[in-house]
Amino acid sequence: MNRSTVWHPFTQHALEPPMKRIVSTDGAYLTDENGKRLLDANSSWWVITHGHRHPEIMKAIRTATDSYDQIIFAEYSHEPAEQLAAGLIEIAPRGLSHVFYSDSGSTSVEVAIKMALGYFHNQGEIRDRIVVMEGSYHGDTVGTMSAGERSVFNAAYERLLFGVDRLPFPTTGDEQDTLDKFEDYCRLGRVAAILVEPLILGAGGMRIYGAAVLAGLKEIAEQHGCLFIADEVMTGWGRTGTQFACDQAKITPDILCTSKGLTGGSLPLAATLCIADVYDAHLSSDRRKTFFHSSSYTANPIACAAAVANLEIWRNEPVLERIARISALHRENLERFQNDQRFVNVRQSGTVAALDLVAPNSGYLADVGPRTRWLFRERGFLIRPLGNVVYLMPPYCVTADELGCAYEAIDEVASIVLGRS
- Cα-based angle 270, 275, 278 (whole degrees, multiple of 5): 95
Query: At 254, is the secondary structure helix, strand, or coil?
Result: coil
User: Where is the binding site for pyridoxal 5'-phosphate, in residues?
Assistant: 105-106, 231, 295-296
CA 388 from centroid of its chain's CA atoms: 20
What are the residues facing 196 on neighbouring strands?
230
Annotated binding-site ranges for substrate: 45, 137, 260, 294, 384
Phi, psi (degrees; rounded to nearest 5) at 223: -60, -30
For residue 274, the 8-state DSSP code is E
Number of separate helices (H) and strands (E) present in the chain: 13, 16
Q: How many CB atoms lie within 10 A of CB 409?
A: 20
How many C-beta atoms lie closer than 10 Å to residue 267's C-beta? 18
The conformation of residue 17, written as its DSSP 8-state character, comes to P
- CB 131 within 8 Å of CB 182: yes
Whole-number Å distance between alpha carbons of 63 and 272: 26
Question: What is the spatial distance between Cα 184 and Cα 165, in angstroms, rounded to a whole number?
Answer: 11
| Sign of the alpha-carbon torsion through 118, 122, 123, 125 | positive
Q: For residue 313, how many other CB atoms are within 10 A of its CB? A: 17
Q: Binding site residues, as ranges?
A: 45, 105-106, 137, 231, 260, 294-296, 384
